[in-house]
Amino acid sequence: MVLAMFVGGPAEILLLLVGGAVLVAGLVGLVLLVVGLVKRRPALWVSGIVILAVGALMMALAGVAAAVAFSHRAGGPSSVLRPPAAEEAGGPGGSYVRISGDRGMARAEGVDFEVLEPGGGGSRFLGRSGSGGGRSESRCEIALGDVLIVVTTVDGRTRFSVNGADYGSVGQGDSVVIDREREVRVNGQRREPVRE
């Protein structure tokens, strides 16, 4: 119980115990290996090698278990996409982000985005989706230079924001253009931020 307060939940305690066992096994294996080599006793150094190999296998299994435990702790069953920092990166379902000259272009949830003169900072796409309790949800963050577009879809309804301002609903096939003055147009019509 006291250990749980400092380390975390049961999964972390189990990983800590397995890590301790691996460390002890590694030390025992190393001692047997060294003693077997110094005293020229093949049975000892072979035992040391076997124990070290088993310890390495246990460490690999503990690493996999840790990765699974921490991925579930970070947000449950979801998929996260972090493409490399590049001029073009792809996302799920035909999503992409690209900077070409003085234009930044992206697609998320079937909506095309274009930013004129995006400025410095490159491009980035971060997508996450999940479902639970009869509800499906996804969120895409698109960085094009100094413009951050967030596209969220909850139960099939898609909304977007630009640099923190909510611009309301969009649908598949819509086109959003953000001009040099950072005014937003959806399908050629100027759109103001949604006031609460």
- Does some domain include residue 117? yes
Range of the domain at 35: 2-73
- Does some domain include residue 55? yes
- Does some domain include residue 96? yes
Question: Is this prediction's pTM over 0.95?
Answer: no
Domain count, the chain: 2
- Does some domain include residue 23? yes
Residues 38 and 68 in one domain: yes
Gap between the Cα atoms of 2 and 13, Å rounded: 11
Residues 129 and 67 in one domain: no
Residues 84 and 180 in one domain: yes
Q: What separation in angstroms does the CA of 182 have from each of 9, 69, 100, 123?
A: 46, 42, 18, 17
- E strands, the chain, in order: 78-81, 88-90, 96-100, 103-108, 111-116, 123-132, 135-144, 147-154, 157-162, 165-170, 175-178, 184-186, 189-191
Residues 63 and 103 in one domain: no
- Give me the tens of pLDDT residue by residue for the chain, a chain 196 residues long: 344 444 455 656 666 777 777 777 777 777 877 887 887 878 877 887 888 787 777 777 777 766 666 554 443 333 333 333 333 444 445 788 988 888 999 999 999 999 999 988 788 888 887 777 778 888 999 999 999 999 999 988 999 999 999 999 999 999 999 999 999 999 999 999 988 6
Residues 88 and 160 in one domain: yes
Q: Which one-letter DSSP state was computed for residue 33?
A: H
